[in-house]
């Protein structure tokens, strides 16, 4: 299942939304919430609006079906159930690529590896994509496969495959950009994409993630 959606008029879905298990989180109030609810229903997701301190829910949070981590202290007041990670690098959604089996975390978070592993309920591995720390925005993963920045090395792709226990990992783009995680949300059976993503890019993503 493939659907298209904008968040606050933007195609950068991964900055405003994030998925943890069967829930898709977003800040309230959400512009055109009816559209989001319709897409969630088709994708088998529960729309989970929260009173966050910023619309950029996807930047500050990361999670899977085992847990959610947040890099901002305000989360403890507005996001029940999230584990606040005490770090100066608060944009955890940008710095973590995670599924239900493992996580790749940026080197700047290495000191928080044990805390993150406990909160997310999966082993965490330190690594980069294309030599960069922002693995959460440069990659998109479900429990089957991952799409990563086109300049990601073979060694980095092999690390992602091992860390997240995936069948396939390959390069891809979103609207001719390598920031694939910033423009899409993936589940094991669905893709929610920015309307700006080109058809060949969509086909490549669906193939690597095993989504029909």
Transcribe the chain into DSSP letters. Answer: -EEE--BTTBS-HHHH-EEETTEEEEESS-TTHHHHHHHHHHHT-EEEEE--SSS-HHHHEEE-SS-EEESSTTHHHH-TTPEEP--S---HHHHEEE-SS-EEE-GGGGGGHHHHHHHHTS-EEE--BTTBS-HHHHEEE-SSEEEE-TT--HHHHHHHHHHTT-SEEEE--BTTBS-GGGSEEE-SS-EEE-TTS-HHHHHHHHHHHT--
What pLDDT is stored for residue 111 in this prediction? 94
List, for residues 22-71, the tens digit of each pLDDT value.
999 998 888 777 888 999 999 999 999 888 888 999 999 999 999 999 98
- The DSSP bridge pattern shows strands 145-148 and 139-141 to be antiparallel
Comparing 16-25, 72-81, 130-139, 192-201, the range with the smallest average pLDDT is 72-81
Comparing 54-58, 109-113, 115-119, 153-157, the range with the smallest average pLDDT is 54-58
Is residue 81 very low, low, confident or very high in pLDDT (cuts 50, 70, 90)?
confident
Task: Give the whole-angstrom CA distance, residue 7 versus residue 203.
Answer: 22
List, for residues 174-196, the tens digit of each pLDDT value.
999 999 999 999 999 999 999 99
What pLDDT is stored for residue 76 in this prediction? 56
What pLDDT is stored for residue 54 in this prediction? 86
Answer whether 124's CB lies under 8 Å from 102's CB: yes
What pLDDT is stored for residue 31 in this prediction? 76
What are the CA-CA distances from residue 64 to residues 93, 105, 121, 143 (Å)? 12, 14, 9, 10
Comparing 28-37, 87-96, 123-132, 175-184, the range with the smallest average pLDDT is 28-37
- CATH number at 186 reads 3.75.10.10
Mean pLDDT of the chain: 92
Task: Give the structural domain span for 139.
Answer: 2-209
* Number of independent structural domains in the chain: 1
**Percent of the chain surpassing pLDDT 90:** 78
């Amino acid at each position: 299942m493939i659907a298209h959606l904008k968040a606050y008029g933007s195609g950068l879905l991964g900055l405003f939304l994030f998925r943890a298990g069967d829930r898709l989180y977003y800040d309230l109030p959400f512009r055109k919430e009816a559209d989001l609810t319709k897409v969630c229903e088709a994708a088998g997701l529960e729309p989970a609006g929260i009173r966050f301190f910023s619309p950029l829910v996807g930047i500050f949070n990361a999670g899977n079906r085992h847990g959610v981590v947040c890099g901002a202290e305000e989360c403890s007041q507005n996001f029940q159930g999230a584990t606040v990670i005490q770090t100066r690098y608060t944009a955890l959604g940008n710095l973590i690529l995670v599924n239900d089996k493992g996580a790749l975390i940026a080197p700047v978070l290495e000191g928080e590896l044990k805390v993150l592993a406990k909160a997310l309920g999966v082993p965490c591995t330190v690594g980069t994509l294309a030599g960069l720390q922002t693995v959460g925005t440069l990659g998109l993963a479900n429990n089957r496969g991952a799409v990563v920045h086109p300049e990601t090395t073979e060694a980095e792709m092999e690390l992602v495959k091992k860390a997240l226990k995936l069948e396939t990992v390959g390069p891809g783009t979103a609207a001719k950009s390598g920031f694939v995680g910033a423009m899409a949300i993936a589940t094991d059976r669905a893709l929610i994409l920015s309307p700006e993503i080109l058809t060949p890019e969509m086909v490549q993503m669906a193939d690597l993630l095993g989504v029909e």
